[in-house]
Amino acid sequence: MNPLTAIRMEALLSGRSDQLGPDVAERLSNHPLDSIDTEFPHYARSVDSPDGIERPTERHPVFFGCYDWHSSVHSHWALIRQLRLFDEHPARSDIVDRIDDRFTAENIAREVEHFEDNETFEKPYGWAWFLHLVSELCLWEDDRAAAWRSIIKPLEETIVMLVESEFLSQKRPFRVGTHQNSAFALHCILDYARTLSNERLESAVTDTATAFYAEDRNYPVEYEPLGWDFLSPSLTEADLMRRVYSRNEFTMWIEQFLPDVTTAPYDTILEPVHTNPNRDEGVALHLVGLNLSKAWCLAGLASTLKDHQYVEAFERSAKQHTERGLDRAFTDEYAGSHWLSSFVLYLLTRNEGGIAPE
């Protein structure tokens, strides 16, 4: 049974963890705990020789599970965030033991070595989620968090360096609904920079964001989704720019960026995507994640715009997307279970720090 079904929609969309009980915390940790130890199936991306490749546990002794590196990273983020937000988490000791076993200086050194040899590995999506993980450790005022942060510091420094040299130097954004989406990565990096009060990185990210998106007009929202998206290119971009601009500046920008989304055919962007529970094609579960990510974007936009004409439509749409997303988020199909709990946690706790901080 899904314990979230007993919680009022207004409470779910509050973005606050005090609306969630221990049964919800346990449900949110089940799949990440299982998946971070699941080495196979695993997406390897390359074959280095006729003899095959190193096992994931050898190549990535920390983030080897969850089918791919970035999913393992945001599953660890989800578990650490739960430790910070839920004092009486039912799986607290299990989570701590798992992360203690992985976060060692030797294991992190091996992860760093891989990035030194493969500078574009997991660019930019995995980098973005890793910096969210670091933010979580910085927000959590706990000796254990400080110790873990100290251990992973070399990997943090490596990824920040790569973000600056290999990502922020790009001349154009990638406007897709999958891992290469530039706006999603920029918003995660900006949240990290602000959480750590890294003004130099914050300035670099806001400069890149405005260079990429400031002049966007009349975005073709009616074309979405573009495929097996788990992000909305238009809403993800808007969710970034609400972080970059003041409220007045953002209001002026979004009025030019979006067509009138209260009228056809543009109002389709406000409709949840249909997902077929009987479909056996794993990639189709991306659309479940799309409904969840659209929900957090819409809720964030509504809270930023205050009294704007779009607020009521955005709030109504956020509720519809949340309901549709949560209905299938806790699937036992590994194609979805290895990552969807992280998206649920992001949506339900987005106002608990580390995500679009003031």
Give the tens place of pLDDT for each residue, 123-155. 999 999 999 999 999 999 999 999 999 999 999
| Contact (Cβ atoms closer than 8 angstroms) between residue 19 and residue 11 | yes
Six token digits for residue 327: 């209905």
d(C-alpha 155, C-alpha 115), whole Å: 9
pTM for this structure? Answer: 0.97
Classify burial at 102, counting beta carbons within 10 Å of its beta carbon; exposed 0-12, middle 13-18, buried 19 or more: buried
**34-57: average pLDDT:** 82
Return the pLDDT at 201.
98
d(C-alpha 151, C-alpha 217), whole Å: 45
Q: Find, among 1, 3, 5, 143, the residue nearest to 83 by Cα.
A: 143
**37 phi/psi in degrees, rounded to 5:** -100, 0
Contacts 24+ apart (CB under 8 A), 7-12: 9/319, 9/322, 9/323, 12/322, 12/326, 12/348
User: pLDDT (tens digit, 9 = 90+) per residue, 308-356?
Assistant: 999 999 999 999 999 999 999 999 999 999 999 999 999 999 999 999 9
Tell whether the model's pLDDT for residue 279 goes beyond 80: no
**224 phi/psi in degrees, rounded to 5:** -85, 150
d(C-alpha 269, C-alpha 116), whole Å: 41
